[in-house]
């Protein structure tokens, strides 16, 4: 099908040098879409490594400073199992959020042949991103770090070294939730341990020296309090964005709603899967969200 003069290709930044489709590289094959997603960003990789190190530090203090020296075996087993389970789920969620394609639009697909294959209707406008040379679907935004247009992009998070978008928002929400839970759990255990040490001999409440024990506990308390506040706020904003079906970028830019309004429950199921089950809380369960084909670009 030949594009008639009534078909329009609109560049979002209106830079004439990007408007020639012949300058775009053909889109990747469908087979290449199955490759692992990983952003090679130095800052993001450093933040991701720091995140894992902070979780391992918290686990070290909880186990070797507070639980192992405790004389209450039941207390140690219950809290150790609970803390390590939540920590494992937090790191698994972080891993999935970091290595899951957030909904990237195939790069360089704004070629003349591809535009013709869309079989556009007369007068229909197709938006093209001049930065990654791709046909831009509705509600997609370009990320300067990922160097791709991302469907329903909420924001780019350096702590997971990835964008939070259509495909990985569930894992990001679970990551913030589990980090907030282990932070709260750590704060409660630190409080109980300080009370226990004040009542007992400090040399008997930890396998480390009293000054070392105090320093380790204070550092853990500071870390847990900081991340409890940060991740709780992030978790709340993400849930609010899901319920309102409006991404962080759309809220910031106050974009006009051009999509159908759905109930909060339908929006939650669109992110976490349908129907409601324990799989909503699992970072290993991939929600069946019925996403559109990545090559469908009718705007």
Question: What contacts 24+ positions apart, CB below 8 Å, involve 30-39?
Answer: 30/295, 33/101, 33/106, 33/294, 36/99, 37/99, 37/100, 37/101, 37/102, 37/104, 37/162, 38/98, 38/99, 38/161, 39/145, 39/146, 39/161, 39/162
pLDDT at 136: 85
Return the minimum-mean-pLDDT range out of 11-20, 49-58, 196-205, 237-246. 11-20
157 counts as catalytic:
yes
What would the mean pLDDT of 109-138 be, rounded to a whole number?
Answer: 80
Mean pLDDT of the chain: 84
157, 163, 197, 205: the catalytic one is 157
d(CA 80, CA 65): 12
Which structure tokens are listed for 143? Answer: 């990320």
pLDDT at 299: 40
Percent of the chain with pLDDT over 90: 55
Q: Domain-by-domain residue ranges, the chain?
A: 42-103+155-281
* pTM (2 d.p.): 0.85
Per mean pLDDT, which of 18-27, 115-124, 229-238 is the most reliable?
229-238
pLDDT digits (tens, 9 = 90+) for 245-258: 999 998 888 877 88
What would the mean pLDDT of 167-182 be, rounded to a whole number?
Answer: 97
What would the mean pLDDT of 278-292 be, rounded to a whole number?
Answer: 78
């Amino acid at each position: 099908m030949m594009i008639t003069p009534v078909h329009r290709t609109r560049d979002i930044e209106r830079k004439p040098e990007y408007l020639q489709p012949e300058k775009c590289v053909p889109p990747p094959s469908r087979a290449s879409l199955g490759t692992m997603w990983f952003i090679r960003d130095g800052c993001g990789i450093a933040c991701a490594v720091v995140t894992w190190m902070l979780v391992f530090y918290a686990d070290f203090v909880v186990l070797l400073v507070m639980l192992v020296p405790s004389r209450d075996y039941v207390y140690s087993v219950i809290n150790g199992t609970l803390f390590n389970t939540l920590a494992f789920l937090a790191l698994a969620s972080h891993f999935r959020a970091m290595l899951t394609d957030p909904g990237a639009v195939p790069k360089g697909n704004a070629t003349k042949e591809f535009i013709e294959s869309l079989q556009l209707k007369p007068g229909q406008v197709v938006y093209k991103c001049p930065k990654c040379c791709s046909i831009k679907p509705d509600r997609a935004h370009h990320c300067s770090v990922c160097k791709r247009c991302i469907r329903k992009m909420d924001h780019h998070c350096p702590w997971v070294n990835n964008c939070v978008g259509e495909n990985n928002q569930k894992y990001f929400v679970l990551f913030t939730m589990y980090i907030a839970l282990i932070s709260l759990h750590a704060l409660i255990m630190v409080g109980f341990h300080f009370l226990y040490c004040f009542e007992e001999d400090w040399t008997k409440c930890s396998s480390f020296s009293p000054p070392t024990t105090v320093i380790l506990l204070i550092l853990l308390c500071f870390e847990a309090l900081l991340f409890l506040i940060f991740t709780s706020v992030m978790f709340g904003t993400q849930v609010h964005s899901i319920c309102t079906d409006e991404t962080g970028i759309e809220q910031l830019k106050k974009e006009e709603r051009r999509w159908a309004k759905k109930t909060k429950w339908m929006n939650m199921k669109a992110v976490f899967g349908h129907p409601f089950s324990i799989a909503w809380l699992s970072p290993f369960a991939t929600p069946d969200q019925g996403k559109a084909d990545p090559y469908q670009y009718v705007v």
